[in-house]
Amino acid sequence: MSVIKAIGVQYCTLQCPDLDIQEQFLLHFGMHTVEKTEEALIMRGDGPQPFIEVCKKGEKKFLGATYIASSMEDLEKISKTDAFSDVEELKTPGGGFISRGADLDGIGVEVCFGIKDRDDYQTLLPQSSNEGGQVNRINERKRYVKGAPPSIVRFGHYGINSNDIPAALEWYNEHLGIIATDKLFAGDPKDPNTPMMGIFARLDKGLEPADHHTIFWLPAPMVSEGKPGLNHVSFEMLQIDDVLRGHEILQRNKEEFNYELEWGVGRHYQGAQVFDYWRSPFKQTHEHQTDGDYFDNTFPPNEVDVTKDGLESDGPGPSQWGPDINFATFGDRRNG
């Protein structure tokens, strides 16, 4: 029985040594500056939330993600557990309340309630597509300004390199109601000697569909030399064009601004998102993605032999199409 069941994620908090450089990267990535001081940078997307990423000034580090409680009572309830602090009032845009904690890997986990949507939000909807003979857009042009930043809807999920993935899932289930969607194995899942490659886990929102994953754990010993920390932070884009437009802008600026393409564009097997991963100048990986799978809480956890993904002739690889992942760098300890 979980203490609470979180209903979303609101924002992520990173730490990096130069806020001007981080701001420029996030502007190219598609965000807008909300507030910038000597100590912190607050950025928003084009969705209703007042901000979706906070960057504090300091040594490169991932400080954590902020989950959303369904009520003030739930926020009070989680704040009474050993892992979380008393409820504090937030001074950031949109106000609200927060309780701060840390998980078993020492990664920050916050729970908030009552952050108000921004007043200047303008309804953001994807344009209809005319595909496969289905005509949905008539007497209306689809036009983007070439080179204009892509539209980000929200902070969608994040990946963590953990030293004990089953224990992490249990902790998040106990505190926040997180449930497994896909458990990944490099071989037969039924064989106890098969190494576990990760777990994708989602929110339990009852019969209301939830993202395929809000959190994804990867084995720290395999990907980051045993150092627990950030694998990537991920932002949902308005539509597939926005993933591709973002790719074009970051490609165009990568030499001058020191960006690095980690992996993309492609479509994932697990979760099905169209994805594109970029390293900031501080090497903290940020993902653009859209069109992911949704499941309600009746959908059972799945055990996947990842070596069977893909055509045998093509070799295994965690994308349905797109370039191969670089296993040597994806999620490495440069993420901090």
Q: Write out the residues near Fe ion by the rule CB under 5 A.
A: 234, 287
Residue number with the smallest Cβ distance to Fe ion: 234
Report d(CA 152, CA 46) in Å as an integer: 6
Nearest residue (CB) to Fe ion, 176 versus 230: 230
Report d(CA 293, CA 270) in Å as an integer: 9
Q: How many CB atoms lie within 10 A of CB 157?
A: 26
Shortest distance, CB of residue 273 to Fe ion, whole angstroms? 7
Shortest distance, CB of residue 291 to Fe ion, whole angstroms? 13
Nearest residue (CB) to Fe ion, 79 versus 162: 162
Shortest distance, CB of residue 287 to Fe ion, whole angstroms? 5
- Residues in contact with 288: Cβ distance below 8 Å, sequence separation at least 6, in sequence order: 29, 30, 150, 152, 234, 235, 237, 242, 243, 246, 247, 264, 275, 276, 278
Report d(CA 121, CA 96) in Å as an integer: 18
Shortest distance, CB of residue 131 to Fe ion, whole angstroms? 25
Nearest residue (CB) to Fe ion, 100 versus 232: 232
Q: How many CB atoms lie within 10 A of CB 147?
A: 9
Q: How many CB atoms lie within 10 A of CB 100?
A: 19
Shortest distance, CB of residue 157 to Fe ion, whole angstroms? 6
β-bridge pairing 302-305 and 179-185: parallel
Nearest residue (CB) to Fe ion, 113 versus 259: 259
Nearest residue (CB) to Fe ion, 98 versus 233: 233
